[in-house]
Structure 1
Amino acid sequence: MTAGATGPEHSVSREQVWTVTAGTLEVTCGGRTERVTAGRTVILPPGPVRRVHAPTDAEAHVAMRADGVASVPGTEGTRALPWAR
């Protein structure tokens, strides 16, 4: 993610494990925000609304089961995650 980028608010049906490999991410999940720096890992449980923001340029590896889907508050239905196909 480039510095200043913020992903959409969404929820995911499967647990996700994010390992930041460069820079810093601010991860908000279930109303709690954690600053995750390079070399650190955050585990996001399935269900709660989350949002990821990059205050600096950042890279991360994200692991989860490939059958997970995302949903966006206020919209109907779910979306397959393009990188999980």
Structure 2
Amino acid sequence: MEAGQTGPEHVISREQVWMVTAGVLDVTCDGRTEKISAGQTFVLPPDVLRQVHAPRAAEAHVAMRADGVASVPGTEGTRILPWAQ
């Protein structure tokens, strides 16, 4: 993620395991925000509202089952994750 970039609030139907490889991410999950730095790993549970912000440039590897879908509050339906197709 580029410095200052914030992803949309969303829900993923599957658990995700993130490993931050560079920079820092501010991760809000279920209303709680944590600062995750390079070298740290965190798990986001399924079906919980989350948002990721990069106060400075960051990179992460994300692992999850390929059949997960995303939904965004205020929109109808779900979205297939592009990398899972």
TM-score, length-scaled by structure 1: 0.98
**Alignment correspondent of 1:55:** 55
Deviations 1:30-77 (A, max 9, x none): 000010000001100001110000001000000000000000001110
**Alignment correspondent of 1:24:** 24
SS of the counterpart of 2:83? Answer: helix
CA distance in 2, matches of 1:10, 1:36: 19
Structure 2: 5+ residue stretches without partners: none
Identity %: 74
**Alignment correspondent of 1:81:** 81
In the alignment of these two chains, the number of paired residues is 85
- Segments ≥4 residues shifted beyond 3 Å: none
What is the CA-CA distance between 1:84 and the residue it aligns to? 2.0
Structure 1: 5+ residue stretches without partners: none
TM-score, length-scaled by structure 2: 0.98
- CA RMSD in angstroms comes to 0.5
